[in-house]
Amino acid sequence: MNQMNRIALALALAAGFSSSAWAANPMDKVGIEHNAYLSCLMADEGKMPTLQRLIDRCGYRPDSKPDEFVRTYQPFMPKDTTSTYAERLAPYRAQFSAAEYAFVERIDQVLSPQAQSPEEIDEGLAKLEAQALAQLGDKSTGARAILGSLSVARHSLAYWTPYYSEREPGDVAARWPKWIKVVIRVVATVVADAATGAAVGAFPATAVAAGPAAGAASGAVAGALQDWQNAE
């Protein structure tokens, strides 16, 4: 199955249903789209994922002209690999109600550099996902952005944990220093993905591309982390 067919299959799943574990989140399609486009962008070894390549390589069809799409979404792309979730979303504080922004701070706590394991991170995100749906609903743009961000975070976590684990020799889980290195890289990438999804989703005019844009941001951060690793 080629990359375009994989994307089509993933998007068909997003349109119809999601995995039973995440089906309660009505915005889970954002995370599914994130992983679908990210998988395509990462297929070209050595080529940095970009917004333009969403169109050129992965068949994404924006509502606007390609150059306009890139200009609109480029400001949302992460500028570094070290900012926290809350720091990345601080410029967009006005787009969220007080109740919605409280979840930004709670997500930030789950996606902290002190996170113990991917399993514990996912458990924390799952709890926040259920709480966000119960407390915020899914009617406002801000609430949908939070739910979409949580979906991106969980799908991103599922994508990047094996990716980074496979790049450390041996049984990394049995060798704590190596496992800490994996978790740090996973968390740094997931933070950028989830924050990009929330920021893009917080604006009605851009929310439609929250998943693809987060996929481009994700690959870019992974590329930057790889450059940092190579320089060690």
Domain spans of the chain, in order of start: 3-230
The pLDDT of 215-231, averaged and rounded, is 75
Q: Which candidate, 173, 194, 196, places its Cα nearest to that of 183?
A: 173
Q: Which candidate, 151, 146, 118, places its Cα nearest to that of 34?
A: 151
| Helical segments of 42-175, H only | 51-56, 66-73, 85-89, 98-110, 118-136, 141-165
The pLDDT of 184-204, averaged and rounded, is 95
Question: What residue has token string 């190579």?
Answer: 230
What does the pLDDT read at residue 8?
42
pLDDT category of residue 231 using cuts at 50, 70 and 90: very low
Q: Dig out the tokens for 117 from the structure.
A: 């394991």
Q: Which amino acid is at 225?
A: L
Question: What residue has token string 């809350």?
Answer: 86
- Ranges assigned E (strand) in the chain: none
**Cα separations (Å) of 133 from 19, 24, 92, 103, 202?**
17, 9, 21, 11, 16
Q: Which candidate, 131, 153, 149, places its Cα nearest to that of 202?
A: 149
Q: Which residue has the higher pLDDT, 112 or 150?
A: 150
Q: Which candidate, 42, 23, 74, places its Cα nearest to that of 209?
A: 74
Which 3 state secondary structure label does DSSP give 53? helix
Whether 182 contacts 168, CB under 8 Å = yes
Q: Which amino acid is at 23?
A: A
pLDDT category of residue 219 using cuts at 50, 70 and 90: confident
> What number of other Cβ atoms are within 10 A of residue 150's Cβ?
30
What does the pLDDT read at residue 114?
72
Q: Which candidate, 114, 231, 84, places its Cα nearest to that of 184?
A: 114
What does the pLDDT read at residue 164?
84
Q: For residue 7, is pLDDT > 50?
A: no
What does the pLDDT read at residue 185?
87
Whether 35 contacts 197, CB under 8 Å = no
